[in-house]
Amino acid sequence: MTVRPNGHKRDPSFAFDELPMPVIIYRQDNGCVLKYNKEAKRVLGLSTSDKALNISKIRPETLSRPKTATSKKPVNFGPVIHRTSKGKEILLAVLRKPISFDGMDCFVDFLESVCEAVSIKNEKASANHSETLIFGKMGSAELDLQTFLLTVSKELFQLLDVVVDEPQSIPIEQFLKTYIHPDFRSEVQQKIEEGMRGLGAEKKVVNVEFEMITATGRKIWIKALGIFKGGTALGILHEITEPKKAQEALVDANELFQRLADNVPGMIFKYQLKDESNGQFLFVSNGCESLFGISAEKIKARGLTEIIHPDDLPLIRQAMRDGFHNDLPWESEFRVIMPNGSVKWIAGASNAYKEKNGEHCWFGFMHDITGRKLAELKRKEIERIAQGNFRALATEMDKFHSLVGTIDGIVWEADAQTFEFKFVSKQAEKILGYPVSNWHTEPNFWANKIHPEDRERAVNFCKLSTRKLRDHDFEYRMITREGCEVWIQDKVTVIHKDGKPILLRGIMLDITARKMAEEEIRRSEQRFKLLYNNTPVMMHSIEVDGKLSRVSDFWLQKMGYSREEVLGKRSVEFMTAESREKGTKELVDFIRSGVARNLEFDFVTKSGRVLNTLLSSSAEYDGQGRVTRSLTVVTDITETKKLGKRLELAHKAARLGVWQIDFVNDSWECDDKLREIFGIEEGVLTREKYWGIVHPDDREAKMKRDKGLLTSPGSHYYDEYRIIRPVDHEVRYIKSQGLFFRDEQGNPLSGISVVYDQTQEKLAGQKILQSLKEKETLIKEVHHRIKNNLQLISSIVYLKLATFKQNDIREFLEGLRQKVKSIAVLHERLLQTEELDSVNIDDFLNRVLKDIQVSFYRPDLIVETKKEILPVQLPSDVATYCGLIVNELVTNAIKHAFPPESRGKIVVRFLQEEGNFLLSVCDNGIGLPENVAPRETGSFGMSLIYIFVKQLGGEFSVLRKNGTDFQIRFSTEFLTAPNTETVTKRIV
């Protein structure tokens, strides 16, 4: 809580500008709006320029005020109709709290969107419907757990609104960043890590649901199954966007129903009739506590039998018998005994229906009618007294006055000519708050306390009763002493003599609760109408004559008609001929049962497009149990039907066979494609015939795997094995996966398996592997021959050196021999490793340095050689350039950098820095003079180095501090990928 400069504390509810809901503050006395937040401005379209805004412009209906002005408790009014600045009506749930704002008594209303959310969902569903081309379609992706390359199927790309002709490979990190919703990326990554954790020979299965963003910006929900085994992970992805939306809509509908049920002044219930004399409450709204003084849990556990008045129990039991045997609606008035011993009158009504499992149920409403019942009983007593001669009743007045004192309403007598009140019962003080003396002493007291809008009408009713000499019953509002409105039902009787009115006598009943219930019913009807027309589902109502009496806006939108073109016509007029005939046949069953569930019909839109739909209906009944109309929900399944056809075609094209496994009877039921793959004629295989088809070399291992699977708690199945077809004895490679279904004890009962013939892929993989092995052998032979030839050349040069006496020629030949030997070392390393075209630069340079130290040994010099070489794989040509550069620079340092009889140090580095490789040869010798530029020395060796650096696309620099440091930098793009054979092994 914050403190103002003047010391007054400010209510914390005013810090609402950033609240994610509309909030409005307005005065209690005149409704003038003082403040509202950004969300209220957005939802209601309010303008800051409107300085005279009143709450009545935003909310047409007036909400009841708290009974005491000092009440600070929040009041939840539930959904209330509001009007935006453009005149659009929306439902907003209202939570109101009295507060003090700037020294004035105000209300602050917290609003929660109801129908606007439904409208937005409707608009999104409408916009996305035409673009949903692959609703429910599946796709797959395979992840290489070594390279983390993801091979995405073209079906999955179709789900993501990307059209490709064949599977595409993409790094998993890029795929997650591009298509996975940011809120779910970490969860998907965790699931991948979970699948890889502790992965061995056995497969590992993970499940996850997440949201994806397609290439066109659509958001779709995906349910994914990941199967991790060996070095790969197979992902099977299924779009579940529509079921997700349906689930969210169901949750919203349940929350709305619960909210309405808890705010109705009475009890909504669902009652199951177990037999003709027993039943159980399945649902009870929270209104039960104010109605019966008992919690909902106790009512569901014990029912109401214990508190129903004994005299009324036979009536209730007879109603149960009638409802159980005849499915009749129930309507009754009965008494209950409250926990404090008082008696209360209850009115109840419900409709009967049957659940899918055949159970009889009532769904209905109970409310308190005690006030009306007592008023009717007391009024009858008064009328019986009033029907006698008025003078003869003078002696009965004391008895009359004592009687009216027990009536809940205000009993009164007034002069028929002057309308002066002669008598007013004490109940007037309780209902209106004014002393009884005011009725006698204050002129026109009764008329002045009537609501101004009802005053003239009420007075005219009394005058009409006097003039016509007949009784009247009318309703109006009065203002209590606290300023609240009370609805009054006034029943007036005229006492006359010789045709002249002499006295008016009546009873005023407080019907405020009834009026509020009627208003709530009216508002509920309005809410129902708004929800009916804004819910993104096709709905219509049909009268008993088969004609449409009501259709939702979404129905009209899907069918392309206006409401005038539809109402009054039969629903079958909008169906195909085949569906019309089917609808006529189904009508008889519907009239008998009153329920239709998921019947398939084809509707024809105005443009001629056929909609495949599922139709569900429930009937409404009159008091005699006859069907009066039906409420029908129509679900468009056109895309689902198309999907089913596509799946059927894909199933045939994908060489997939399906069988159902019965573990109880040890039998396998095969489809046509499976019989074709296995080369069998039988539609059902026994255990012996099946194992006779499995390849003998794979049979024992497969039996062991199947036994382990059946005894484990898992339900998912995946396996690969070979078979020998009985029809032609051909060997086939089989991939199979499926699901098992178990009983409560975990024993397998049945299963379904999909079989894929992967013989072509296996044979092709074997050919590729064999070809790679042959090429590897040839390449190694080439390396071997090159190495031998280079060593032969090196030996010839070495022998020739002894015949030359000039130092420069000897020196040139020795350098040439060393360069040839460096290249020979490279081919030797290629021959000794599994890689065919790359070497480990650390191992290669170490060997080059050892050869240099042996070849250029100086007895007058001790040279320490240190190495800092990163162990990475480089292509053979790049490694050759690096070896020749090191050979030239190290040899040059040994020859020229150190004076005789000295100790020197040479450091060779190969490191990675900021996207480049650094190759450095550094010595602590006499250094290179400042006036000497390496490139301008004319040295043959230096010329070679510049040529090699140019081939690498690098840069050459020299540092002259404490010796000489030659540095070459070139790009890390020369880093090599794993060799082809390794990749091929992982794929196969």
Q: Which domain holds residue 398?
A: 383-517
Q: Answer whether 836's CB lies under 8 Å from 830's CB.
A: yes
Pair (558, 511) in one structural domain: no
Mean of the pLDDT values across residues 506-512?
Answer: 86
Mean of the pLDDT values across residues 422-450?
Answer: 87
Return the CATH number at 790. Answer: 3.30.565.10
Identity of the residue numbered 416: A
Tell which wins on pLDDT, 124 or 94.
94
Collapsing DSSP to helix, strand or coil, 669 comes out as strand
Q: Answer whether 567's CB lies under 8 Å from 589's CB.
A: no
**Sign of the torsion angle spanned by Cα atoms 391, 395, 399, 402:** positive
- The pLDDT score that the predictor gives to residue 6 is 39
Pair (24, 141) in one structural domain: no
Residue 222 has pLDDT above 80, yes or no: yes
The reply to whether 122 falls in a domain is no
Mean of the pLDDT values across residues 742-747?
Answer: 78
- The pLDDT score that the predictor gives to residue 402 is 46
The reply to whether 752 falls in a domain is no
- The pLDDT score that the predictor gives to residue 798 is 63
- The pLDDT score that the predictor gives to residue 655 is 63
Tell which wins on pLDDT, 172 or 328.
172
The reply to whether 150 falls in a domain is yes
Query: What's the length of the chain?
Result: 988
Single pTM value for the model: 0.29
The reply to whether 740 falls in a domain is yes
Name the phi and psi angles at 445, rounded to 5: -60, -50
Burial of residue 73, with CB atoms counted within 10 A of its CB: 0-12 exposed, 13-18 middle, 19 or more buried? exposed
Residue 822 has pLDDT above 70, yes or no: no
Residue 604 has pLDDT above 80, yes or no: yes
Q: At what angle do helices 876-896 and 940-952 cross, to 10 degrees?
A: 150
When pLDDT is cut at 50, 70 and 90, the band that residue 745 belongs to is confident
| pLDDT tens column, 102-121 | 888 888 888 876 544 333 33
- The pLDDT score that the predictor gives to residue 623 is 63
- The pLDDT score that the predictor gives to residue 605 is 92
The reply to whether 228 falls in a domain is yes
Tell which wins on pLDDT, 10 or 895.
895
Identity of the residue numbered 261: A
- The pLDDT score that the predictor gives to residue 790 is 62
Mean of the pLDDT values across residues 73-90?
Answer: 81
Tell which wins on pLDDT, 390 or 915.
915
When pLDDT is cut at 50, 70 and 90, the band that residue 797 belongs to is low
Residue 181 has pLDDT above 80, yes or no: yes
Pair (637, 659) in one structural domain: no
The reply to whether 236 falls in a domain is yes
Q: Answer whether 566's CB lies under 8 Å from 560's CB.
A: no
Q: How far apart, in Å, are the Cα atoms of 133 and each of 161, 239, 260, 397, 541?
A: 9, 12, 38, 85, 31
Last residue of a domain, one of 448, 482, 517: 517
Q: Answer whether 366's CB lies under 8 Å from 269's CB.
A: yes
Residue 373 has pLDDT above 60, yes or no: yes
When pLDDT is cut at 50, 70 and 90, the band that residue 982 belongs to is very low
Tell which wins on pLDDT, 416 or 699.
699
Residue 788 has pLDDT above 70, yes or no: no
* Number of domains forming the structure of the chain: 7
**Contacts of range 725-730, beta carbons closer than 8 Å, 24 or more positions apart:** 725/678, 725/679, 725/680, 725/693, 726/678, 726/679, 726/680, 726/692, 726/693, 727/679, 727/680, 728/679, 730/679
Residue 77 has pLDDT above 70, yes or no: yes
Return the H-helix or E-strand segment holding 202.
none
Pair (587, 626) in one structural domain: yes
Last residue of a domain, one of 617, 641, 665: 641
Residue 123 has pLDDT above 50, yes or no: no
Question: Which among 385, 409, 570 has a CA at the least distance from the CA of 489?
Answer: 409
Mean of the pLDDT values across residues 401-422?
Answer: 72
Return the CATH number at 343. Answer: 3.30.450.20
When pLDDT is cut at 50, 70 and 90, the band that residue 580 belongs to is confident
Pair (176, 32) in one structural domain: no
Pair (821, 954) in one structural domain: yes
Collapsing DSSP to helix, strand or coil, 420 comes out as coil
Pair (666, 725) in one structural domain: yes
Pair (787, 911) in one structural domain: yes
For the chain, give the mean pLDDT: 77
Residue 652 has pLDDT above 60, yes or no: no
Mean of the pLDDT values across residues 865-892?
Answer: 87
Pair (782, 848) in one structural domain: yes
Pair (494, 635) in one structural domain: no
The reply to whether 532 falls in a domain is no
| pLDDT tens column, 437-467 | 888 888 888 888 899 998 888 888 877 777 7
- The pLDDT score that the predictor gives to residue 120 is 37
Residue 632 has pLDDT above 70, yes or no: yes
The reply to whether 73 falls in a domain is yes
Pair (794, 937) in one structural domain: yes
Pair (804, 724) in one structural domain: no
- The pLDDT score that the predictor gives to residue 643 is 63
- The pLDDT score that the predictor gives to residue 868 is 92
